[in-house]
Amino acid sequence: MSAEGSLTARLLDDADQAPLDPFDLFAEWFAEARASEPNDPHAMAIATVDGDGLPDVRMVLLNAWDRRGFVFFTNFESAKGHELLAHPKAAFVMHWKSLRRQFRVRGPVEIVDAAEADAYFHSRARGSQIASSASEQSRPLRSRQELMERVEKLTARLDGQEVPRPSHWSGFRVVPTQMEFWKDGEFRLHDRFQFTLDAIGDWRRQRLNP
């Protein structure tokens, strides 16, 4: 598929007002990003708010997605975990520099079920599983040596055993109510298209000024 694939070409054609599924369009863009980005095409900056309403943002990895939403996994005792459990709404952006495109999502957040969390946890490298168990994410750490000692102790204790998924480690699914596709244009005349979920569950798209 060319850089301007069939769905992208339809999107950019102002005369084409036929329905266009944003999930299909994302699949096309994501496939192109995976082919062209030199590192972490699934990286996304996810924004939350704390108890004072102050925004917080950090990079995470998109670990799974389907028509239910976009999933990432984390330690629920981390800052983002606490914030999302208290205020289950989020926004994220994925920026693909090689394609000069970005993709934005906003919506409520839900916790993935235990089976989904277990399956992803055990698909990871064993070292990553142990690190997820040993790290008290976002909490003060006196030294790196302290962390490495916890990793070594846990590695020795679990030798020959399956690493259990910690109860505080699971996934969040961002359920989109709004998605925006942005494509760079000459002289900052970018192409922006916003998809909004209406009351009956249909996606409505609107071109936006750059």
Is 204 assigned a catalytic role? Answer: no
Exposure string for 15-41, b = 16+ CB within 10 A, e = fewer: eeeeebebeebbeebbebbeeebeeeb
Q: For the chain, where are the alpha helices, taking DSSP H only? A: 6-12, 22-36, 79-86, 114-123, 126-134, 144-157
Q: Which of the residues 188, 192, 204, 207 is marked catalytic?
A: 188
Alpha carbon separation from 155 to 42, 54, 151, 163, 183 (Å, rounded): 29, 38, 6, 9, 46
Cα dihedral 104, 109, 110, 112 in deg (nearest 10): 40
Token duo for residue 146: 């302290």
Cα separation, 174 vs 182, in Å, equals: 19
- Which residues carry out catalysis? 188
